[in-house]
Amino acid sequence: MLGPTLQASGVPMDPRKDEPYEMYGEVEFDVPVGTRGDSYDRLWVLVERVKQSCRIIEQCVDRLPPGPYRAEKLPKKLSIEGETYVRTENPLGLMGYYVVGDGGKQPYRLKMRTASFSNVSVLPALLPGQLVPDLISILGSIFFVVGTWTAEPDRRRRSGLHVHPRRCPGRSS
């Protein structure tokens, strides 16, 4: 479990507080934590996180320096050499990105671990013995997005992110 699902169970883990990145170490915000871990607490934590996000945005807007705030030109492609793993907080929990590159114009491996993947893992413990009408609120409060799994192969194909046959372990060519 991650994000609001974990926080609703009483665990105050939030990488923005635990390992601050970007501006998170310079802004004040609270990590909402539930006590029961039920559907109500999961929804309550999510609503409180929205309130804290507004609090963060207000602080960041107040700190914007005068002048232009849009970058004139961003790099179209990043060159990555070697491998790296980065985790970031998103509204549903942690997103993990594993990227492998050889210094070319695009990485030859990209693996994303979505918050939905982790949050769905709790369902076998939550669902046994529940009434069918309760499944709606339970599933709705887990905050999973199935599209993040099914679209992954297509997204790699369309974006040009694919594994080169010579780089596939165990494949002869």
pLDDT digits (tens, 9 = 90+) for 48-85: 999 999 999 999 999 988 888 787 887 776 778 899 89
Per-residue pLDDT, 151: 41
Per-residue pLDDT, 33: 97
Neighbours of 33 (CB within 10 A): 17
**Can you tell me the mean pLDDT for 105-124?**
82
Per-residue pLDDT, 146: 66
The distance in angstroms from the start CA to the end CA of the chain is 41
Strand-strand pairing, 81-90 and 109-113: unpaired
DSSP state, 121? T
Neighbours of 119 (CB within 10 A): 23
At residue 25, the 3 state secondary structure works out as helix
pLDDT reading at 135 higher than 60: yes
Provide the β-strand partners of residue 111: 98
Neighbours of 39 (CB within 10 A): 18
- Sheet arrangement for strand 81-90: 81-90, 93-102, 109-113
Structural tokens at position 106: 């695009």
Instruction: Indicate the pLDDT class of residue 86, thresholds 50, 70 and 90.
Output: confident
Return the closest-CA partner of residue 144 out of 160, 127, 164, 121: 121
Distance separating alpha carbons of residues 133 and 118, to the nearest angstrom: 24
